[in-house]
């Protein structure tokens, strides 16, 4: 069965520090990979996505993610975190040729301290 693992339930970083959120997936072939962000009381907003090609993808708000096939990982990074980045982050996988069914990780909650 497909699965998405976000091993860090909660991360706290200082404003201005770098950030890396981990995501691993379990799927036989390369799925479509996404990172979403959810601010309190809001829906989910797409940060970035990977389908094929360059394994380093750039997203909105200064985020980037790198697909590593050998590690089945799609980690999210940001070089300098802002207080407004405090939110819940979800990694997601969409399975090709299944009608685009999405699987989500359990999320990582990010706290930013001044």
Q: Which residues bind another protein (CB under 8 A)?
A: 6, 9, 32, 34, 36, 41-46, 49, 51-52, 90, 92, 94, 96-97, 99-107
Whether 108 contacts 11, CB under 8 Å: yes
Q: How far is the CB of 80 from another protein (least distance, A)?
A: 26
CB closer to another protein out of 29 and 114:
29
Environment class of residue 43 by beta-carbon count within 10 Å: exposed (0-12), middle (13-18) or buried (19+)?
Answer: exposed
Instruction: For tokens 């299944």, name the residue.
Output: 98
CB closer to another protein out of 105 and 110:
105
Q: How far is the CB of 78 from another protein (least distance, A)?
A: 19
**Residue (of 17, 13, 15) closest to 79 by Cα position:** 17
Q: How far is the CB of 62 from another protein (least distance, A)?
A: 19
């Amino acid at each position: 069965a497909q699965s998405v693992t976000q091993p860090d339930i909660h991360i706290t970083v200082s404003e201005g520090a770098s950030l890396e959120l981990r995501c691993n997936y379990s799927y036989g072939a390369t799925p479509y990979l996404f990172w979403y962000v959810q601010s309190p009381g809001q829906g989910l907003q797409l940060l970035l996505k990977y389908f094929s090609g360059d394994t380093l993808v750039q997203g909105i708000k200064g985020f980037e993610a790198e697909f590593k096939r050998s590690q089945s990982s799609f980690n999210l990074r940001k070089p300098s975190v802002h207080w407004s980045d405090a939110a819940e982050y979800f990694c997601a996988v969409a399975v090709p040729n299944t009608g685009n069914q999405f699987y989500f990780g359990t999320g990582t909650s990010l706290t930013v301290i001044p």
